[in-house]
Structure 1
Amino acid sequence: MTRPMKPLFILALLGLLCAVPPPAAADIYAFIDADGVIHLSNRANDPRYRRLMRINSQGRRLALPQYASVPSRGGDAKRYEQTIHNIAKRFDLDAGLVKAVIQAESGFDPNVVSHKGAVGLMQLMPQTARIYGVSDRTDPHENILAGSQHLRYLLDKYKNNIKLTLAAYNAGEGAVERYGNRIPPFRETQNYVRKVLAFYREFR
């Protein structure tokens, strides 16, 4: 049986791709399947592919998304509608906010794994999963339950300041505190906050 490639290998694989001069401008796409195998291609011939970078005819990289996780784009938001509604109600959360975080984190794919080790719909890190008693981070119900609990905790801590809550969800509470309880000046975090808020407006 073929051993699934770990997400950490993706940078090396992309490096190899960039080392080969392309005949013309090309996009590089990727997704992680349900078995954790990373698929790379210069053609988006599967709806799960997400563009990682663009290479011009001189072999120069033109663009690379801020987020290193590779969602499969195969998630079905409607499948988790009732679960999200029930859990959001339990923790007095707006279901639209939970959906927005899931959309930004995983695109509603429960099998997404980031290069930092975050897993599942709400991209739980191992430490966060332990805090909330999660045994299987790929289990949608467990993942949404823990992620929602963490959102509730952060909203309470930051007095319902959604921007700071999202910044802490992405970069950690320590980062927010180091910058005087403001959104840290990290491009990824700032983009993340804007991205989730945009999705939130759609889901409300």
Structure 2
Amino acid sequence: MRLISIYFLVALVFLPNIVAAGIYRYVDANGGVHFTNVPTSSEYRFYRTEGDRYRLESLIAHSAETFQLDRALIKAVIKVESDFDPQVISKRGAQGLMQLMPETAVEVGVNNPFDPSQSIYGGSMYLRKMLDSFNRNLDYALAAYNAGPNAVRKYGGIPPFEETRNYIKRVRHYFDFYRRNESTF
């Protein structure tokens, strides 16, 4: 009985550290991104806990079901928009995982775009709205997500912006990747 108690105590002490192990990353001079769970130099910065992945998977699955979206599409948008960094702010002021502009965040009821649950829910809602607005045309919906629906309407399709055209290509690339590798982040 005493031996079981000791194992239980050891598990209580060490299990939280195992479950919430940190992931660290650094970007080298050539733009290469390096990840580790055991940083070997001061160049590595805390990125997120390993448990975050499972929480994000759950939030993505919930929003995918709620808004009838493919989970791989939501992941692809998050990857291209923020590279899964919930604290990122773009040069233009877009915020959070799904890079919601402040006006868009208000439109979809997001109070805190840095909260992953709000960002994923609001971004997914907006993505569904863009798909519905453009007759389920994925390229037009992605262009609207990136450049705004008025730009898509003005040009009668994908705007002639290099950034928007590259955005669509990148999202489609990751969409295909996540469809083939469902459990990958």
- Look up the SS of the partner of 2:47 in the other structure: coil
CA distance in 1, matches of 2:99, 2:46: 15
Q: Say whether 1:154 aligns with 2:127.
A: no
Instruction: Report matched runs for 1:1-204 at 5 Å.
Output: 47-49=25-27, 74=47, 77-180=53-156, 182-204=157-179
The AA in structure 2 aligned to 1:136 is N
RMSD: 2.1
User: Unaligned stretches of 5+ in structure 2?
Assistant: 1-23, 32-44, 180-185
Contact 1:106 1:120 in 2 (8 A): yes
Deviation track 1:145-179 (CA, whole Å, cap 9, x = no partner) reads: 10000011011111111000000000001111111
* Superposed displacement of residue 132, structure 1: 1.4
TM-score by length of 1: 0.64
Determine helix, strand or coil for the equivalent of 1:74.
Answer: strand
Q: Secondary structure at the match of 1:87?
A: helix
Count of aligned pairs between the two proteins: 140
Q: Which runs of 5+ in 1 are unaligned?
A: 1-45, 54-71
User: Structure 1 counterpart of 2:47, which letter?
Assistant: G
Deviating 4+ runs (over 6 angstroms)? 50-53
What percentage of residue pairs aligned between the two structures are identical? 46
If you compute each CA radius of gyration, which structure gives the higher value, 1 or 2? 2
Q: Distance in 1 between matches of 2:115 and 2:74?
A: 16
Would the alpha carbon gap of residues 73 and 162 (structure 1) be closer, same or farther in structure 2, given more than 3 Å must change?
Answer: farther
d(CA) in 2 for partners of 1:195 and 1:73?
26
Residue 51 of structure 1, CA deviation: 6.7
TM-fit CA distance, 1:79: 3.9
- Shift of the alpha carbon at 1:78? 4.3
Q: TM-score, normalised by structure 2?
A: 0.70
Query: CA contact under 8 A between 1:105 and 1:122: conserved in structure 2?
Result: yes
Structure with the largest fraction of helix: 2
